[in-house]
Structure 1
């Protein structure tokens, strides 16, 4: 096991795929034993229902070091995969350019490796909820009746980091929700603390909501 492999972390990683090869990449990665997720939803258009990829050109991979570490090096060369997404490209470019001293390069090794998505499990759960809402809408399934105080999610990626509470129905398939803007802070013990920094009310279509 190399030093670089020892610095890897478990969690959900983001992969960039070749054009229109998301499902091909997922199939080959799963054949190698990796756990992956490609969000696919159903969309109704002109009376027909078709499947669409929620994030074209991207794929999620759950890295389990106990079972996946020995084959980690195969990910980038897998059919359909273009690269693993790095969140610190500047450090990576400096190391690859050879302009850093050996001491600086050793210190930067952990930053050169791809990192898992922060709070990846929560984000994947939210994406699954969005896909479920979109599928229900395409299938003509109305959302469950909402009661004041219910936690809800909205089928819009712009709202995925917000906490929403249903307050009341306004009739004509519309309702009022309370949106809480959350600030997350990582504590010294590695846990995450959430604090409500702002709240606002908004009227929305009930078809766009689902119980959390």
Structure 2
């Protein structure tokens, strides 16, 4: 891309159909339009296991870089997965290049964190060490997940196996 093109191109905000950000992204990229969809990886409880899920950082929105807004407006608006281009009155919503660059950096660090997260996610059957509270230092075994933030563990206390509930941030893999 030449410097003249880079200086005249701007980032615009696109509204996608519900949960179709990736479809809109693929269809816009097929039209050779520069696009960006910031994503984040979070852990959710799925079928009794905590799994990392990647979803849009801004659900329903993505960004396109255009140097010819008027020429591509109708082409983008009629793309599968796209609802509309965001405007303020008759002026399109633009995003500064610096903000897009920051979001891209966050997206890249999220990708590297995603790999380590999948290894660190606690699952039933894992041996864990309790970090704080009255049982700090005890080794326990996860027997059940209790929602998005807690789990049930089995620990040996006074020569008895005792069930207890702990927050995930109180535990680490042993």
TM bracket, shorter-chain basis: 0.5 to 0.7
Structure 1 stretches of 5 or more lacking a match? Answer: 1-8, 93-111, 142-212
Counterpart of 1:127? 103
Q: Distance in 2 between matches of 1:44 and 1:138?
A: 10
Residues 69-105 of structure 1, C-alpha deviations (whole Å, 9 max, x = no match): 644321111111111111x3xxx3xxxxxxxxxxxxx
CA distance 1:138–1:71, change in 2 (3 Å) = closer
- Cα deviation for residue 115 of structure 1 reads 4.0
Q: What TM-score, normalized to structure 1?
A: 0.44
Structure 2 stretches of 5 or more lacking a match? Answer: 1-7, 118-174
Instruction: Report the secondary structure of 1:75's partner residue.
Output: helix
The answer on 1:72 being equivalent to 2:50 is: no
Instruction: Report the secondary structure of 1:25's partner residue.
Output: helix
Q: Distance in 1 between matches of 2:100 and 2:25?
A: 16
Pick 1 or 2: higher relative contact order, CA cutoff 8 A, min separation 6. 2
Q: How many residues align?
A: 106
- Cα deviation for residue 129 of structure 1 reads 1.9
Q: Which of these residues, 51, 54, 73, is aligned with residue 54 of structure 2?
A: 51
The answer on 1:114 being equivalent to 2:114 is: no
- Cα deviation for residue 22 of structure 1 reads 0.7
Instruction: Report the secondary structure of 2:84's partner residue.
Output: strand
Q: Distance in 2 between matches of 1:70 and 1:14?
A: 16
- Cα deviation for residue 13 of structure 1 reads 0.2
Supply the RMSD in Å over aligned alpha carbons: 2.3
The answer on 1:82 being equivalent to 2:58 is: no
Residues 140-190 of structure 1, C-alpha deviations (whole Å, 9 max, x = no match): 28xxxxxxxxxxxxxxxxxxxxxxxxxxxxxxxxxxxxxxxxxxxxxxxxx
